[in-house]
């Protein structure tokens, strides 16, 4: 409670007013003997003083708030507040098989291509070996079809033709002798049965000669085109099966897609893995950004590509370089994570300020302050 001497400078009019005793001739009331009469000004003097002091305090606080909020703007600076954000990856195996081993723990830093976990491949390896043997066998068939008959095979066919020609010539001579003898003796020297046998032998020799010649032609021409196409198609099918099994063997190793930090181990050795069940959760080291929000009045002062300085409470006095990489095109209500009593119903725009963190000091969700140097002489760049 302020003393009377402190109140006087605030409102001099009430202090100068003197208390005048009542001049009425009427007899005073019983209470008038001890308390002086109170005038209208005296009755409201204290509430007026308190109200004035409250108004002064509110005005001073509002003014200080405006000064604190606009002090950076007067210096062509814009300060944003947000949190560190980054991308996360849930890694799962492509195959449904039992997990053999998990090679990393939570918090471990992993590099691109590093093996993080393995599946049991005791059933896949024999299947891959069988498919590989089938490919080799079919490849040999296709090679034989493309090369055609060997010279030895052609020579063998030619020899068969020569043998058939000799047999035909012999059968022809035998038939001619028997026919001539039958004509001279009027059929008495040779029976009809022997004559028919010689004729049948000649026809058989002629047929064998034709067969041998056709076989020689086929040996010289080579395999049919349809056989070659069929063999090649079967080879491609075997190769595709082998490729699938090799891919499954490769997928039995879970590798890191990029440099990251292991956040969680979701499955352990002995459990059954599947494409729907992640084994590890990774937090990617790069890129990182500060998810901040800017009001509509300050939206025209920033643009993508704008340089920024990012600082955190964990590393005072140290700023990291960054740049504005994304500005939302749709407004939203202030998120609860950065909500204050003044901004609960304010519409803001999300801004992503990408930051260079070579030592991986920033963590997911860490509060950060973004300082943007705004040059009023340079118009903002249009958003692409």
Q: What is the pLDDT of residues 23-65, one digit of tens each?
A: 444 444 444 444 455 455 566 667 767 777 777 665 555 444 4
pLDDT score at 223: 81
Angle made by CA atoms 357, 360, 365, in degrees to the nearest 5: 90
Percentage of residues of the chain with pLDDT beyond 70: 76
Q: What is the mean pLDDT of residues 271-283?
A: 94
Q: What is the pLDDT of residues 364-382, one digit of tens each?
A: 889 999 999 876 544 444 4
Between 358 and 324, the more confident residue is 324
* Nearest one of 87, 81, 107, 88 to 312, comparing CA atoms: 81
Are 269 and 102 in contact by the 8 Å Cβ rule? The answer is yes
Instruction: Retrieve residue 33's tokens.
Output: 């003997």
- pLDDT of 129 reads 95
Mean pLDDT of 234-252: 95
pLDDT at position 90 is 95
Which residues have a Cβ under 8 Å from the Cβ of 132 and sit 6 or more positions away?
Answer: 242
Q: What is the pLDDT of residue 270?
A: 94
Chain mean pLDDT for the chain = 79
Separation of alpha carbons 176 and 194, rounded Å = 12
pLDDT at 218: 78
Higher pLDDT, 274 or 54: 274
Burial of 217 (0-12, 13-18, 19+ CB in 10 A): exposed
Categorize the per-residue pLDDT at 75 as very low, low, confident or very high, splitting at 50, 70 and 90.
Answer: low
Judge whether residue 121 has pLDDT over 90. yes
Lowest mean pLDDT among 39-48, 72-81, 354-363: 39-48
How far apart are alpha carbons 292 and 328 in whole angstroms? 11
* CATH 2.30.140.10 correct for 76-87+286-373: no
pLDDT value for 70: 42
Q: What are the residue boundaries of the structural domains of the chain, listed by start?
A: 76-87+286-373
DSSP symbols for 130-195? HHHHHHHHHHHHHHHHHH-S-HHHHHHHHHHHHHHHHHHHHHHHHHHHHHHHHHHTTTSSS-HHHH
Query: CA angle 229-233-236, nearest 5°?
Result: 140
Enumerate the H helices of the chain as residue ranges. 4-7, 12-16, 40-74, 124-147, 151-184, 192-221, 225-251, 296-299
Neighbours of 86 (CB within 10 A): 19
The predicted structure's pLDDT at residue 56? 66
Let me know the angle formed at the C-alpha of 145 by 141 and 151, rounded to the nearest 5 degrees: 115
Tell me: pLDDT of 203 over 80. Answer: yes
pLDDT bucket at 187, cuts 50 / 70 / 90: low
Residue-wise pLDDT tens digits, 210-223: 898 888 887 787 78
Residues 124, 242: Cα–Cα separation, whole Å: 11
Least confident window among 35-44, 236-245, 315-324, 329-338: 35-44
- Asked if 310 and 320 touch (Cβ cutoff 8 Å), the reply is yes
pLDDT value for 334? 67
**Whether residue 88 has pLDDT greater than 70:** yes
In this model, does residue 97 exceed pLDDT 90? Answer: yes
E strand or H helix that includes residue 79: strand 77-91
Residue 49 has what pLDDT? 75
Least Cα distance to 65 among 341, 329, 285 occurs for 341
What's the confidence (pLDDT) of residue 177? 82
Interior angle at CA 117, CA 114 and CA 120, nearest 5: 135
The confidence band for 260, taking pLDDT boundaries of 50, 70 and 90, is very high
Question: Residue 245: is its pLDDT beyond 80?
Answer: yes
Cα 163 to Cα 105, 203, 209, 268, distances in angstroms = 81, 15, 8, 76
Give the largest Cα separation in the chain, rounded.
198
Using a pLDDT cut of 90, give the percent of the chain over it: 39
Q: What is the pLDDT of residue 40?
A: 55
Q: How many CB atoms are located within 10 Å of the residue 116 CB? A: 21
Query: Between residues 125 and 185, which one has the greater pLDDT?
Result: 125
Write the CA distances from 109 to 103, 106, 218, integer angstroms. 12, 9, 68
Hey, what are 263's tokens? 């956040």
Query: Hey, what are 284's tokens?
Result: 């990617």
pLDDT of residue 329: 87
- Please classify residue 262 by burial: count the beta carbons closer than 10 Å to its beta carbon, then call 0-12 exposed, 13-18 middle and 19+ buried: buried
User: For position 337, what pLDDT does the model report?
Assistant: 59
For 332-345, what is the mean pLDDT? 59
Q: Which helix (H) or strand (E) holds 117?
A: strand 115-119
């Amino acid at each position: 409670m302020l003393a009377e001497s402190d109140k006087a400078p605030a409102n001099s009019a009430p202090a100068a007013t003197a208390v005048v005793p009542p001049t009425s001739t009427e007899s005073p009331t019983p209470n008038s003997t001890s308390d002086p009469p109170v005038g209208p000004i005296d009755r409201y003097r204290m509430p007026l003083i308190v109200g004035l002091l409250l108004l002064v305090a509110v005005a001073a606080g509002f003014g200080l708030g405006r000064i604190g909020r606009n002090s950076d703007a007067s210096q062509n600076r814009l300060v944003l507040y947000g949190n560190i954000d980054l991308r996360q990856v849930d890694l799962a195996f492509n195959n449904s098989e039992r997990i053999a081993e998990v090679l990393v723990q939570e918090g471990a830093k992993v590099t691109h291509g590093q093996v993080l976990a393995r599946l049991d491949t005791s059933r896949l390896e024999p299947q891959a070996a069988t498919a590989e043997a089938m490919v080799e066998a079919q490849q040999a068939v296709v090679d034989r079809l493309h090369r055609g008959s060997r010279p030895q095979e052609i020579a063998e066919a030619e020899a068969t033709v020569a043998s058939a020609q000799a047999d035909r010539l012999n059968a022809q001579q035998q038939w001619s002798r028997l026919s001539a003898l039958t004509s001279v003796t009027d059929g008495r020297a040779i029976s009809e049965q022997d004559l028919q046998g010689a004729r049948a032998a000649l026809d058989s020799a002629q047929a064998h000669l034709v067969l041998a010649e056709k076989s020689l032609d086929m040996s010289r021409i080579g395999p049919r085109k349809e056989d070659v196409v069929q063999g090649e198609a079967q080879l491609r099918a075997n190769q595709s099966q082998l490729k699938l099994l090799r891919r499954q063997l490769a997928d039995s190793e879970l590798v890191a897609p990029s440099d990251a930090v292991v956040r969680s181990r979701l499955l352990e050795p002995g459990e059954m893995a599947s494409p729907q069940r992640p084994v590890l959760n990774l937090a990617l080291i790069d890129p990182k950004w500060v998810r901040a929000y800017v009001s509509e009045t300050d939206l025209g002062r920033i643009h993508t590509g704008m340089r920024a300085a990012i600082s955190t409470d964990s590393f005072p006095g140290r700023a990291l370089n960054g740049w504005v990489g994304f500005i939302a095109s749709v407004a939203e209500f202030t998120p609860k994570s950065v909500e204050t009593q003044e901004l609960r119903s304010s519409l803001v725009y999300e801004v992503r300020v990408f930051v260079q963190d070579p030592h991986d000091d920033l963590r997911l969700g860490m509060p950060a302050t973004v300082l943007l140097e705004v040059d009023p002489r340079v118009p903002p760049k249009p958003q692409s």
